[in-house]
Structure 1
């Protein structure tokens, strides 16, 4: 087990991109090498993930990359997949970065595109729960269809709220470094 992946910050950036700061509880146990069961179970729940494009140094397919990748990288792709299943959104992209000369070991910066702010927040939470359940080998506790249905309800709410908000455009045009910080749990 790799322990509970924790989203410690969520920032909304320009161009419909969200930045997540992720911390892994054990800085020496953050890879699928340490938990090969996670990607195996993830592909069982979400077979379409195998068709995700993934740019990596080795030119591997996403499925092959998952044999030895960071758990936050899987998390990035899962957030994209959940959004795509809840709402047709075209191509969404993501990126996972880390620099342990600057940040503590085990901290990752995950960037994910979105079209619906409420949906991406829901997808982040569902992805957290799924990764945790898979790490605990609790695949039977995950009802993908029910989770996707709940996310589809969030799509409707998010679309309605965006149409009501006169400041929606202003919020979306802020660069990430100036975006409103929304601490998790606050």
Structure 2
């Protein structure tokens, strides 16, 4: 039984790495950009697995997933605020959201609010006031360089706009406002995401 579970996890992880590699290659303009992006994404996957190992693969809290993703980018705490009720993620949701927050934080450091040393990122989540049973997670950047809608959507946008809703349900919107990127995830509570007492 334990060997079957291990085999299943290894196969899933290798399939994920293969998909990340293929998609990163498609969206990378140079071999150097490919190597840099692939390394960051594989390390994000590794950090998600490390976090899950700490709980014997029982899941992780949303706060831990966000904090681990931000600290991996060496983001100074004074430029980030993280708040929300205790939400427990199952292993699949932990990995999916770890990858999503890696993409958001890497983008903020390279192009967004955290690229100039004076910007700020606010990550918050709460029960959706309109839709019961839905949690709204908001990533809001401010104080960075002016933002414009990109001409092409890359790996991160694809992950956020297509893969994450497919994995977790719900909706994801990316708003490229001039004063900062805003990403809103509206995710249904389920076995994958649940409130903690």
Q: Which has the higher strand share?
A: 2
TM-score, with structure 2 as normaliser? 0.30
Which has the bigger relative contact order, CA under 8 A and spacing at least 6? 1
TM-score, with structure 1 as normaliser? 0.31
